[in-house]
A and B are shown apart, each in its own frame.
Chain A
Amino acid sequence: MEKVYAELHQDAYHWARQCVNYSDEQAEDVLQTVYLKILNGKARYNNRSGLKTWLYSVIRFTAADTFRSTRKQVSLDAAAEQTEEPEMNTLDEHFYASALKQLSTNQSQVLLLVFYHNYTLEAVAEVMGLSIGTIRTHYDRGKKKLRQILEKEKNTTYDFK
């Protein structure tokens, strides 16, 4: 656990934030749940993949669980709360998040893992528990769609040449 924490905590936190739509509070909760799973032996590393790949996979599944339960809770609450956006630290962050939000969850996660976390498509397939063919499709379509979104933004305040 100490090794995981010392080496991967920072990256793990950013990945957790990306999995819960940039909500700091939810990212902390997800990561706490993940670390407790590891400490209690509910999540065990079996050397089948890299340590980071395994940790990212646990974070992704835990975030999906948290997101599902939050959505259930939200459906019981007022409909107005459903439209609430997670608080963003800056305007720039809001731009990045909203650009990625226009992609499907799988597409944005594949692109984040490849471009942001420097994963190979094979490793992405392990993290997401999908076949390499499916990952490649998400990668190509996501990249194409994101490029279109960014080209649209070209003439606004953000310049992506």
Chain B
Amino acid sequence: MTSNDDPIVERFFTQMKQLDQEVPVPDILARINRKKRLRRRRAYMSVVASVVLLVVAFLMLGREKTSAQQEVDIAVVEQDLESMMSWQSATGSLMETK
């Protein structure tokens, strides 16, 4: 131990120490944990957001696919109708000649 043989200096630091006892000591570990929790929540929210975006993207893709499929179906029906009409007109003209 040092020989703190200076009463003036010693008194200065003793009074300083007493004054510092009134200084509130912040809970740094709680602050760290709060930040960690916030970071974790932010990461969780970004995962949820990307999952929602993926689901929406899949749904929209599916809807586009069904409308495209519907277009194909209409085209097929139209084709069938056209061939039926042409067959009907052909048989009609045959009957007329008879």
A residues neighboring B (CB under 8 Å): 5, 9-10, 13-14, 17, 24, 28, 31-32, 35-36, 39, 89-90, 92-93, 96, 99, 111-112, 114-116, 120-121, 139, 143, 146-147, 150-151, 160-161
Interface size on B, residues (CB 8 A): 24
At the interface, is chain B mostly helix, strand, loop or mixed? helix
- Measured CB to CB, the closest approach of chain A to B92, in angstroms, equals 89
B residues near A161, Cβ cutoff 8 Å: 7-8, 11
Return chain A residues, CB-CB under 8 Å to B15.
92, 96
Q: Which residues of B contact A (CB under 8 A)?
A: 1-2, 4, 6-13, 15-17, 19-20, 22-23, 25-26, 28-29, 31-32
- Contact: B9 with A143, CB < 8 Å? yes
Whether A10 lies near B25 (C-beta < 8 A) is yes
Q: Check A36 against B32 for contact (C-beta < 8 Å).
A: yes
Chain A residues near B20: list those with CB within 8 A: 14
Contacts known (A13-B25, A17-B23); A116 close to B8, Cβ less than 8 A: no
Q: How far is the CB of B55 from chain A (nearest CB, A)?
A: 36
Assess A35 versus B32: contact at CB under 8 Å? Given A13-B25, A111-B13, A116-B17.
Answer: yes
30 contacts between A and B (CB under 8 A): A9-B29, A13-B26, A13-B28, A14-B20, A14-B23, A17-B23, A28-B26, A32-B32, A35-B29, A35-B32, A89-B23, A90-B19, A92-B19, A93-B19, A111-B9, A111-B13, A112-B13, A114-B4, A115-B4, A115-B9, A115-B10, A115-B13, A116-B16, A120-B1, A120-B2, A121-B2, A146-B12, A147-B8, A147-B9, A161-B8
